[in-house]
Amino acid sequence: MKRSGVVISCLALMTMAFLYLPLLAVAFFSVNATKYGLVWKGFTLDWYVKLFSNEVILGAAVNTLELAVISTVISTVLGTILAIGIDRFPWSKRSATSLDMILHLPVVIPDIILAAALVVAFGMLRLVSSWFEPGMLNMVIGHVTFQIAFVALVVRSRLDAVGKDIEEAARDLFASNTYLLRHVTLPLILPGIVAGAMLAFTLSLDDFVISFFTAGTDSVTLPIYIYAAVRRVVTPEIHALSTLVLLATVLLVIGTERVSRRFQQR
Inter-residue contact 48 to 165 (CB < 8 Å): no
**Segment among 111-120, 201-210, 233-242 with least mean pLDDT:** 233-242
| Alpha carbons 188 and 8: distance in angstroms, whole number | 40
Range of the domain at 176: 45-265
What pLDDT score was predicted for residue 21? 83
Structure confidence by residue, pLDDT tens digits, 122-135: 989 888 888 888 88
Average pLDDT of the residues of the chain: 84
Q: Is the pLDDT of residue 170 over 90?
A: no
Domains identified in the chain, total number: 1
Q: Which residue has the higher pLDDT, 183 or 142?
A: 142
Q: What percent of the chain has pLDDT over 90?
A: 19
Q: Which residue has the higher pLDDT, 46 or 141?
A: 141
Residue 163 counted as domain residue: yes
Residues 6+ apart with CB under 8 A from 229: 235, 238
Residue 2 counted as domain residue: no
Q: At residue 182, what is the residue type?
A: R
Q: What is the 3-state secondary structure (H, E, C) of the chain?
A: CHHHHHHHHHHHHHHHHHHHHHHHHHHHHCCECCCCCCCCCCECCHHHHHHHCCHHHHHHHHHHHHHHHHHHHHHHHHHHHHHHHHHHCCCCHHHHHHHHHHHHHHHHCCHHHHHHHHHHHHHHHCCCCHHHCCCHHHHHHHHHHHHHHHHHHHHHHHHHHHCCHHHHHHHHCCCCHHHHHHHHHHHHHHHHHHHHHHHHHHHHHHCCHHHHHHCCCCCCCHHHHHHHHHHHCCCHHHHHHHHHHHHHHHHHHHHHHHHHHHHHHC
Residue 18 counted as domain residue: no
Nearest CA-CA partner of 264 in 194, 208, 183, 211: 194
| 146-160: b (≥16 Cβ within 10 Å) or e | bbbbbbbbbbbbbbe
Q: Is the pLDDT of residue 2 over 70?
A: no
Q: Which residue has the higher pLDDT, 242 or 141?
A: 141
Q: What CATH number is associated with residue 116?
A: 1.10.3720.10
Inter-residue contact 195 to 256 (CB < 8 Å): yes
Inter-residue contact 144 to 70 (CB < 8 Å): no
What pLDDT score was predicted for residue 77? 94
Structure confidence by residue, pLDDT tens digits, 84-117: 888 888 788 888 888 888 888 888 888 899 999 9
Residue 225 counted as domain residue: yes
Q: Which residue has the higher pLDDT, 165 or 85?
A: 85
Confidence of residue 263 (pLDDT cuts 50, 70, 90): low
Q: What percent of the chain has pLDDT over 70?
A: 94
Structure confidence by residue, pLDDT tens digits, 34-88: 777 677 777 888 888 888 888 888 888 889 989 999 999 999 999 999 998 888 8
What pLDDT score was predicted for residue 78? 94
What pLDDT score was predicted for residue 260? 65
Query: Looking at residues 146-167, what average pLDDT do you find?
Result: 87
Residue 236 counted as domain residue: yes
Q: Is the pLDDT of residue 139 over 80?
A: yes
**Segment among 5-19, 96-110, 168-182, 250-264 with least mean pLDDT:** 250-264
Residues 6+ apart with CB under 8 A from 189: 80, 84, 155, 158, 159, 162
What pLDDT score was predicted for residue 149? 92
Q: At residue 158, what is the residue type?
A: R
What pLDDT score was predicted for residue 138? 92
